[in-house]
Amino acid sequence: MRRRRVSRVATISMHTSPLDQPGTGDAGGMNVYIVESAKRLAQLGVEVEIFTRATARDLPPVAELAPGVLVRHLTAGPYEEMDRADLPGQLCAFLSEVLRTEAMYDPGRYDVIHSHYWLSGQVGWLAKERWGVPLVHTMHTMAKVKNLLLAEGDRPEPQARVVGEEQVVTIADRLVANTADEARELMDLYDADEGRVAVVNPGVNLTVFQPASQGAARRRLGLPQDARVLLFVGRIQPLKAPDVLLRAASRMLIDDPSLRSRLVVACVGGPSGNGLARPQILTDLAAELGISDVVRLVPPAPQDELADWYRAADVTVVPSYSESFGLVALESQACGTPVAAAAVGGLRTAVRDGVSGVLVDGHDPERWALALRPFVTAPDFREHLSSGARDHAAAFGWQATASRLKEVYAQALAHLTKAPVAVNF
């Protein structure tokens, strides 16, 4: 008889590995989510095995990410990064490897499948049917939402993805939404059954991301002590809208030329998605705007260094057109640095307007310049929000995320077996 409690989860992340550096390629907040929640689930007694596509020949078939967390690299397509548009052609190969792995063990190895992003959901759908276990799915981003909020010049998500997402929403036993807003989008745009949608807020690593000396952080990063630092962290692509920050900074310098000697616009991240077509876009835009002297482009950074960037900044700017949550905003606030964010999606939850930062409607550079100006001209304004930022972020921890996920897994298994399930906290 199958176990009636959740002991092991098969986590499927086909298109990006949890071992990849966030801010490069397709690696971003989803990678952080998978890694951090898996570690905390293992601490709660739930083993996690993460299935992902091998992108290099020398990757080990199995790697231990942390005690109780394994990463399985499966061969599906060439040993290299692939554009997400080409990955549907590898679904069969990837699924075959997932099923082959499970077949190596006694029946009942996995109690629950948790898929991330729609491609993984397609794999999870068939594995669920084969193994007789529930499928829990997290969308992370949704085609219909992105297509409603396209950046200028960005390409809409294809209809094949829309259909694929609709199929996963229909088949999944539980859908995990990052925020109540995302839950409503699932129900309104995808006709998701309210009873199968669970809201689980992502968290932040409060050990790594915590307040520390701004001056010390600036010394380590080579920034002037009297600088006024506007920070962008994330993948360089139209969806994330780093151009809005550069255009707003240009507007600020036109309005107040005296800022030029102290202003630093730091962008930490690498090109991704549609941004790969123009990897030099921020360099070119800075030159076009005449602000190359204040713009500093930095490659993606590991968490410890990233925490220093947050601490060094006067404000972290998140002008995205769409965000299911916005982990960057939460990480910044945990370091005591307030956030100016677009009033979209999960950012309305991640940032408490007027308390931990400010929410900005639209993407007009002039409006953003007005919103950012107090952060560089009014120290008291920044200090007030800094205190609120720390308090707001403290309410979000990965341990709480993992505990809630474990509850969702148990509920999904209980629904499938029609029997009570031990959560084992």
84 is annotated as contributing to ligand binding: yes
* Residue 27 counted as an annotated binding residue: yes
55 carries a ligand binding annotation: no
Query: Is position 313 annotated in a ligand binding site?
Result: yes
30 belongs to an annotated ligand binding site:
yes
Q: Is 22 annotated as a binding residue?
A: yes
311 marked among binding-site residues: yes
Are 127 and 304 in contact by the 8 Å Cβ rule? The answer is no
Q: Torsion angle of alpha carbons 165, 150, 343, 36, nearest 10°? A: 50
Residue 26 counted as an annotated binding residue: yes
Q: What is the 3-state secondary structure (H, E, C) of the chain?
A: CCCCECCEEEEECCCCCCCCCCCCCCCCHHHHHHHHHHHHHHHCCCEEEEEEECCCCCCCCEEEEECCEEEEEECCCCCCCCCHHHHHHHHHHHHHHHHHHHHCCCCCCCCEEEEECHHHHHHHHHHHHHHCCCEEEECCCCHHHHHHCCCCCCCCCCHHHHHHHHHHHHHCCEEEECCHHHHHHHHHHHCCCHHHEEECCCCCCCCCCCCCCHHHHHHHHCCCCCCEEEEEECCECHHHCHHHHHHHHHHHHHHCHHHHHCEEEEEECCECHHHHHCCCHHHHHHHHHCCCCCEEEECCCCHHHHHHHHHHCCEEEECCCCCCCCHHHHHHHHCCCCEEEECCCCHHHHCCECCCEEEECCCCHHHHHHHHHHHHHCHHHHHHHHHHHHHHHHCCCHHHHHHHHHHHHHHHHHHHHCCCCECCC
> Is 321 annotated in some ligand binding site?
no
Is 323 among the annotated ligand-binding positions? yes
- The answer to the question of whether 409 is labelled as a binding residue is no
**Is 15 annotated in some ligand binding site?**
yes
161 annotated as a binding-site residue: yes
116 annotated ligand-binding residue: no
Q: Is 240 annotated as a binding residue?
A: yes
- The Cα-based distances of 303 to 133, 233, 309, 310, 328 in angstroms read 35, 12, 10, 10, 11
Cite the annotated binding site by residue number.
15, 21-22, 26-31, 84, 117, 141, 161, 235, 240, 310-311, 313, 323, 331, 337
Cite the annotated binding site for Mg(2+) by residue number.
310-311, 313, 337
Cite the annotated binding site for 1D-myo-inositol 3-phosphate by residue number.
15, 26-31, 84, 117, 141, 161
Cite the annotated binding site for UDP-N-acetyl-alpha-D-glucosamine by residue number.
21-22, 29, 235, 240, 323, 331
